[in-house]
Structure 1
Amino acid sequence: MKSAVRRTHGPEVLGGVGGFAGLFDASALRAYERPLLATSTDGVGTKVAIAQAIDKHDTIGLDLVGMVVDDIVVVGAKPLFMTDYIACGKVFPERIADIVAGIARGCAETGTALVGGETAEHPGLLGLNDYDVAGAATGVVEGSRILGADRVRPGDVVLALASSGLHSNGYSLVRHIVAGAGIQYGDRATDLASDGTTWGEALLEPTRLYTAPLLRLIAQTGDAVHALSHVTGGGIAANLARVLPQDTWVELDRSTWSPPPVFRVLADLGNLELTATEGTWNLGIGFLAVVAADKAEAAASALLQDGIATWQVGVVGDGPRPAGEFEQGAKGVDGGAVRLVGQYSDQGAK
């Protein structure tokens, strides 16, 4: 575990592993004219219950980094460092090492130093094999380069960035559907894979990490990227609405993509229409980027070269919006208005 953590350390990290506090040399921030610190904290949610059920813990850490660090890049910030917290009924060293090694892999992929953490036993509160994970990260962005709703203009293009699957949201619904269908996590998921993959393994597909590709995109395209939205709890429309100006609206065209099989199979098992899950699952879109119209094609091409399928899903409008129900902001943010329109494509997932 210590070896995995040390691999995330650059010369800015002082003191190594095991201290009461992690130390990070912030001297590099002197190069910023107005350095703004960005911070985020989150957990993985009930996805950990599936990891516990099949005793596979090496990907949960990647999910944690995705939930925490990928929120920082939304404002255009470069992550600096992260800490983690693991609460468990009993410490099993190999299990904790697997979890932390996954966090370290995610930190290395996103350029984040893992500078510290805490593992706590809570006997009598958590079961012997139960645990939960959480983390917090800090990043920095130049004050004049911060992304957000104030940069968005009518006519901007909304690009969808493909997810790797469920990511780390909506697992209470997933577990309810699986239990109701009488499926065991050790059963082969023949509807999802032909290689003997079990349901538990398929549902633990790690969250895709977007930080490094998005930072490269921002660096390559200058002022082309105006706003970013991380599609997590609340679904596609609500999360995009959070980063739009109040007087704007977007209709996201469902026909531009096909939700991957995991969403279709689960919806069928739960006797749900895909549209009924839009506020719970990402349905194949992990991030949304609002970009200048004349740079949209170049931005999509750059992300594709970085391994992320990207496509145009909508355009920012202003003035009177079309009749019908829209999502209007979310989580206390009075943002723009967003709704999904049309029917999902059946031509294969993006």
Structure 2
Amino acid sequence: MILETHPASIASLENGDLCSKIAYTHALSTSAQAFQTSDGPYAGIVEIAGAKIGITSDGIGTKAEIAERLKKYDTLGFDLVAMVADDLIASGVRPLYLSNILDVNTLNPQVIDELMQGLAKAAIYARTQIVGGEIAGLSSRVQGYGEGTHFNWSATAIGDLLCDKPISGIDVKTGDLIIALKEEGIRSNGLTLARTILQNQFGNEWHLHQGWGDYLLTPSRIYAPFVVDVITKASIAIHGIAHITGGSFKSKLGRVLKATKLSALIDHPFAAPAPMLALQELGAISDHEAYRHWNMGHGMLLLVPALAADKILSFALKQNLQAQVIGSIEQLSKPQIVINLQTGKTVIYEY
């Protein structure tokens, strides 16, 4: 039996969108006249003394639990940096500086050292500097798996806008091509659904079965340096960028397309990583739900002029980044995201 919806997970996505909208509405009330603000799809842009600065905040969510289960902490920095650095570049902002907040139940120097080693390596890869942070010992306010250190980890990143205006999707045109950047891991989204499936299948110690813990801990690929180079070195004007995180294709690609109400026709998606397909089978997850919760092999989507596609693909090859044209932007009768899978099935989202 294929389940079309997991009510709890769908409700979580919808409530997440609603809560973000609530927070955004209240944030608008604080805008000071001394600053000029505008919105990118993934970052707020503020102009200060003529400089256009982007800022965003995010965290690794329940991926912390995977590290707690495996007692391995040195790769989570890549997940944290990816969440904020790739959100910045999705609005056309070059990541420059990062601060982080680590809430823990108990201060364990060895765990802190592993976390911060990974964060430093990831920041260097993303060409950012760590300029501040907070480590807060909160005792029983922070809980997690088993004994030992439990934690929540988030970050804020800022950078400079590379173009005259944010990459918001407003310049997306019919005939633009969609280039996907490959992701083998689950990144930091869709983990609650994945953990629920594995818990139901293997019990409380699911992370020890068939390498599932190791797979879910796969560090996120950071795309920001590549995209910065595409904009600054290859001098390519990217019309839209979708960072495929929470809500996946429907939420994140839909967010970019809503400015023009155009549609995405995806005919050649990457093959989904084998572990994601296995999760889908174990949980009896429909394709429609899988492509709403997980990236299914697509970490970031670039919406670009057709004439620029070959140059971007060549640029990606030189940087050992797997990329391919997966589809195009079309004018359909109503705004849709249409994904034609290699199995012959089709997934359609209206946004």
Name the TM-score, length of structure 1 as normaliser: 0.78
User: CA offsets per residue over residues 208-232 of structure 1, 9 Å max, x none?
Assistant: 0001111111123324322211000
Alpha-carbon separation, structure 2, partners of 1:216 and 1:345: 35
Alpha-carbon separation, structure 1, partners of 2:193 and 2:237: 37
Summarize the Cα distance change of 1:124–1:186 in structure 2 as closer, same or farther, 3 Å threshold: closer
Alpha-carbon separation, structure 2, partners of 1:322 and 1:305: 39
Select the residue among 63, 85, 98 that pairs with 2:79. Answer: 63
CA contact (8 A) 2:202 2:209 kept: no
CA contact (8 A) 2:92 2:163 kept: no
Letter aligned with residue 296 of structure 2? L
> Shift of residue 118 of structure 1?
0.8
Report % sequence identity: 27
Alignment of 1:107-126 (within 5 A): 107-126=123-142
Matched, 1:187 2:208: yes
> Shift of residue 91 of structure 1?
0.6
User: CA offsets per residue over residues 261-291 of structure 1, 9 Å max, x none?
Assistant: 1111111111223332111100000000011
Matched, 1:140 2:160: yes
Which residue number in structure 2 is paired with residue 203 of structure 1? Answer: 216
SS at match of 2:260: coil
Select the residue among 70, 73, 78 that pairs with 1:54. Answer: 70
User: CA offsets per residue over residues 202-252 of structure 1, 9 Å max, x none?
Assistant: 210000000111111112332432221100001123211212233311122
Alignment of 1:194-273 (within 5 A): 198-244=211-257, 245-253=259-267, 255-273=268-286
SS at match of 2:186: coil
Matched, 1:99 2:120: no
Letter aligned with residue 49 of structure 1? E
> Shift of residue 63 of structure 1?
0.5
Select the residue among 164, 171, 177 that pairs with 2:191. Answer: 171
- List alignment gaps of at least 5 residues for structure 1: 1-31, 190-197, 324-336
How much is the aligned-residue C-alpha RMSD, in angstroms?
Answer: 2.0
> Shift of residue 53 of structure 1?
1.1
Summarize the Cα distance change of 1:216–1:308 in structure 2 as closer, same or farther, 3 Å threshold: same
Which residue number in structure 1 is paired with residue 101 of structure 2? Answer: 85
Matched, 1:309 2:301: no
Which residue number in structure 2 is paired with residue 22 of structure 1? Answer: none
Count how many residue pairs are aligned between Structure 1 and Structure 2: 291
SS at match of 1:117: strand
Alpha-carbon separation, structure 1, partners of 2:140 and 2:91: 41
Alpha-carbon separation, structure 1, partners of 2:129 and 2:280: 38
Which residue number in structure 1 is paired with residue 10 of structure 2? Answer: none
Alpha-carbon separation, structure 1, partners of 2:90 and 2:49: 20
User: CA offsets per residue over residues 113-136 of structure 1, 9 Å max, x none?
Assistant: 001111111112124531110000
SS at match of 1:313: strand
CA contact (8 A) 1:35 1:143 kept: no
Name the TM-score, length of structure 2 as normaliser: 0.78
> Shift of residue 186 of structure 1?
5.0
> Shift of residue 292 of structure 1?
0.7
User: CA offsets per residue over residues 13-40 of structure 1, 9 Å max, x none?
Assistant: xxxxxxxxxxxxxxxxxxx995310011
Alpha-carbon separation, structure 1, partners of 2:261 and 2:141: 48
Select the residue among 142, 151, 169 that pairs with 1:149. Answer: 169
